[in-house]
Amino acid sequence: MHLTVCHMYPDLLNLYGDRGNVIAFVQRCRWRGIRVTVREVNLGGPVSFTGCDFLFIGGGSDREQQLIASELAARLQELQAAMEDGLVVLAICGGYQLLGHYYLTLEGRKIKGLGLLDFYTTAGARRLIGNVAVEAELNGSKSVLVGFENHGGRTFLGAVEPLGKVLRGYGNNGTDGLEGARYKNVYCSYLHGPLLPKNPALTDHLISLALQRKGMDGKLADLDDTIERQAHEAMVQRLLA
């Protein structure tokens, strides 16, 4: 078993330890004997979305978002085809915003998004900062995801499902109680933390999806998650008790 991870623009999009998402994905594969190759994709560098099993895109400042938006626009068709074909994607915060129609900055500049998912983002004067708990459905069962958010953008969903419902924190915009977005195997979230180390159930869900897309059954061997579970539970208690 072998998976290829594409880590998009790691030098530009790596807020609040977002790289930890790739580390957690890779490590939880390796502990199970699944081999993983990580391809770091940098501005102007080559990338094959078709040869990729898990694509990760992290958060960044408005300036970095602008740089990447124009580069990704040139690769839109290939990325869209891969997503339609079930490519497993995790996009966080600035990376999430890039997949929508646009991001309107506080200064009134419109950063064009890829328009792959039906949502848009407008910046608000007050940043939405703090710890978050979200109820999401993974594989038919309800799960609580925890993370940390820090964004000026308010995202409003159109014809696309949210990732989950906000239990604590702001989520997409601080008003409609929704967090993230989800389409096929594309998962978008405002949650840094980083998200995957803090939520091993989500990590395993994404690994399983990537394996299933390659024709495998996606059943994963159990790991000793005592410490991960305790860390997760401590945050859940702190936020929801």
Please give the residue ranges that form the binding site for ligand GLN (CB under 6 A). 15, 59-62, 65, 93-94, 150-153
Q: Which residue is nearest to ligand GLN (CB)?
A: 59
CB of 153 to ligand GLN, least distance (A): 3
Given the residues 93, 188, 205, 232, select the one marked as catalytic. 93
Would you call 19 helix, strand, or coil by DSSP? Answer: helix
Given the residues 6, 29, 52, 192, select the one marked as catalytic. 192
192 among known catalytic residues:
yes
151 among known catalytic residues:
no
Distances (CA, A) of 144 to 27, 102, 128, 135, 195: 22, 29, 20, 5, 12
Distances (CA, A) of 215 to 110, 167, 171, 183, 207: 41, 35, 34, 20, 13
Rounded to 5°, the CA angle 185-189-190 comes to 170
CB of 196 to ligand GLN, least distance (A): 16
Nearer to ligand GLN, 63 or 214 (CB): 63
Nearer to ligand GLN, 93 or 114 (CB): 93
Nearer to ligand GLN, 62 or 118 (CB): 62
Residue numbers annotated as active site: 93, 192
